[in-house]
Chains A and B, each alone.
Chain A
Amino acid sequence: MAIIVDKNTKVVVQGLTGKEGSFHAKQCLQYGTQVVAGVTPGKGGQVWSDDEGKYNLPVFNTVEEAVRETGANTSLIFVPPPFAADAIVEAADAGVKTIICITEGIPVRDMMYVKDYLKKEHTDVILVGPNCPGVITPGQAKVGIMPGHIFKPGSIGIVSRSGTLTYEAAYQITKEGLGQSTAVGIGGDPVPGLTHKDVIEMFQEDPETDAILLIGEIGGTMEEEAAKYIKEHVNKPVFAYIAGITAPPGKRMGHAGAIITGGKGDAKSKMEALREAGVIVIENPALIGKTIREHLSNPEVMAEWD
């Protein structure tokens, strides 16, 4: 099962012929993901090959054609920021139900319109990102830019606003002898597709996920909203790490969305809300994997969730 992507995922890469698109399409193919097509307007009819000539994919002018010809059901977007909103809407209008947008630097206004449009016209479309590493279901499909080898099939679901921090956490979990059901990078932008809450809802319903790790950071109120949901609906153990306890207000910490504004979005209030919802908040980021293993192997602790 897992969530969002699995062995039945068939990927069309929008922006396949660009440098990023080419590099990561190859990485996804090497991982075993079914990448079936690429879209680059004006290059339809060409055949894309990776730098070693190992993989070949048909390139289409439109997503619509790619879907019709190859049965692609998931789009992976590497289109540059000025054109990314257009690419997302094109994928949705072409009937793609899962859209994963890697692009960093899309204007907030564009994403606001896109999100509003999807909410009104395509309620069944899942948008992950933008400004995210993508989604991986270890052993089944990697649809994104994460290093596949640090992930191992397992039962911990990860949802995170940060790329490298996801890798860090996944690596720690893997080193502890555990693995991940699915890891979802929801991205660091102020207007994301899926939110923490959305993904936690999916993990709660996923029989292959036994525990959930939420990686949050300063800015916005997504973690607080997730906490509210967890309190009311989640009976699986949830762990959380929140980055940015030392971040000063009003300063953007790399991610467009990582900023404390108007007295909202600091790490402390997020941690408090999560703790209040029964989440195990991990304060030392070097101990994410260890804390999870210790809790999951302690029957007394686990009894609390039964």
Chain B
Amino acid sequence: MKLHEHQAKEIFAKYGIPVPEGKTAFTLEQAKEIAEELGEFPLVVKAQVHCGGRGKAGGVKIVKNMEELEEAVSSLLGKTLKTFQCPDGKPVTRVLIEKATNIDKEFYAAVTLDRSKSKPVLMASAAGGMEIEEIVKENPDAIIIETIDPELGLMPYQARKMAFKLGLPVKETAKILLKMWEIYRDLDASLVEINPLVLTKEGKVVALDAKMDIDDNSLFRHPALAELEDEEQLPLQEREAKKYNLNYVKLNGNIGCMVNGAGLAMTTMDIVKLAGGEPANFLDVGGGANVEQIANAFRILMGDSDVKVVFINIFGGILRVDRLARGIIEASKRVEIRVPIVARLEGTNAEEGRKLLLESGLNIIPVKDMWEGAQKAVELAKNAEGSC
């Protein structure tokens, strides 16, 4: 689960990490009130979206007076912000308004999991302001890494060492780094990132931005954090899918995929691509897909107007395929399905399942393997696009 910058900054402030003074506005009126409260210009207006590359996309604006503030806030609130990381855009429902900072130097700092060691790491770089992906690509040596022992936690010497290497005021910086670790640990974060961490012209160290991801699996023990989730940042279908406990990710193609199991679901996307098509989504209906889940999955796929054909790829294990076929037939009665369905059913009782589908009178094309299914789906999708 992703947190907004303003939510992460509120947590930072609570832990004693310096952040610029500011507040969040959901309306223009609130924005003006906040500006008055802050009592000085210039101010910075920052769109709150779950997406990187916000600055370059015009999501961060410096304003010198009330008029400029109104203009900036109006140009952001209620709009969709498209960035290079989110070409489809994210809705801006709130803006963070902050006092401007006199930046001298920008740095990068983050605590995250090093999966190859199964241990947390503190990473930092003097190349702040850039996305970490860019730093990794362009100058991996510019990243300083300290591995954290899970039992001991980040040791003060490690934080000091890093501050010395970065050339930042040691006491203040080490404190910030130690607090980042505490937040990571206490809140089951999967990422605590400050980019940029800045040294101001006044010689202070401040978290100018804040990014936090929380481990979804830990939310049962953080009910207050769970409430911070801004579902509007998720595409509509993903929100729906979440309600039904389905794993769904929207992609840009026109072949809707419905699969049991995450690995096979990814594989299905890949084979569609290999056959010359574009998957419309990742969709895992779970290892034990039942009628209810299949019906919900259809509902979500049909909600995506890009979908021209549905490719069902099910490997029945303990779950018998004939039962699944009945589920598909039943679900197709409940949900209006406006596109052809290619169904590859394999595993236990597959023969029986295929027969059921053939006899159902539905527009379902049974195929014998994944490759044939992918090719058939691609062909149908191309025909459908051609006829429009």
Interface residues of A (CB under 8 A from B): 27, 81-82, 105-109, 111-113, 115-116, 145-147, 149-150, 160-168, 171, 188, 190-191, 215, 217-222, 225, 241, 243-258, 261-264, 267, 283-287
Interface residues of B (CB under 8 A from A): 85, 112-113, 115-116, 118-120, 132-133, 136-137, 149-151, 185, 188, 190-191, 215-218, 220-221, 247, 249, 251, 259-267, 269-274, 279, 282, 284, 287, 315-318, 346-348, 369-371, 374
**Bound complex: CA A222 to CA B265 (Å):** 20
Pick from A106, A145, A253: contact of B262, CB under 8 Å: A253
Task: List the 7 closest pairs (A to B, CB-CB), nearest first.
Answer: A162-B263, A164-B261, A254-B262, A165-B263, A147-B317, A286-B371, A107-B218
**Bound complex: CA A244 to CA B247 (Å):** 15
**Bound complex: CA A113 to CA B217 (Å):** 15
**Bound complex: CA A163 to CA B262 (Å):** 8
B315 and A112: CB pair below 8 A?
A: no
**Bound complex: CA A248 to CA B188 (Å):** 25
A220 and B282: CB pair below 8 A?
A: no
**Bound complex: CA A108 to CA B120 (Å):** 11
A247 and B315: CB pair below 8 A?
A: no
**Bound complex: CA A262 to CA B134 (Å):** 9
**Bound complex: CA A219 to CA B116 (Å):** 11
A163 and B215: CB pair below 8 A?
A: no
B217 and A105: CB pair below 8 A?
A: yes
Q: Which residues of B contact A150 (CB under 8 A)?
A: 317, 347
Contacts A165-B264, A219-B115 aside, 16 further interface pairs with beta carbons under 8 A come to A82-B220, A108-B188, A109-B215, A112-B113, A147-B316, A163-B263, A164-B262, A191-B118, A221-B115, A244-B270, A246-B269, A247-B266, A250-B85, A258-B266, A263-B137, A286-B370
**Bound complex: CA A164 to CA B348 (Å):** 13
**Bound complex: CA A29 to CA B301 (Å):** 39
**Bound complex: CA A109 to CA B151 (Å):** 11
Distance (whole angstroms) from the CB of A91 to the closest CB of chain B: 19
Q: Which residues of A contact B346 (CB under 8 A)?
A: 168, 171
**Bound complex: CA A116 to CA B348 (Å):** 40
Q: Which residues of B contact A111 (CB under 8 A)?
A: 118
**Bound complex: CA A245 to CA B269 (Å):** 8
A163 and B271: CB pair below 8 A?
A: no
**Bound complex: CA A255 to CA B271 (Å):** 19
Pick from A147, A215, A219, A222: contact of B348, CB under 8 Å: A147
**Bound complex: CA A7 to CA B133 (Å):** 48
Pick from B116, B221, B270, B370: contact of A246, CB under 8 Å: B270
Distance (whole angstroms) from the CB of B175 to the closest CB of chain A: 23
Distance (whole angstroms) from the CB of B340 to the closest CB of chain A: 20
6 cross-chain CB contacts under 8 A: A27-B318, A163-B261, A221-B116, A253-B247, A256-B215, A286-B271
**Bound complex: CA A225 to CA B115 (Å):** 11
Residue on B nearest A243 in the bound complex, by CB: B266
Q: Which residues of A contact B266 (CB under 8 A)?
A: 162, 217-218, 243-244, 246-247, 253-254, 258
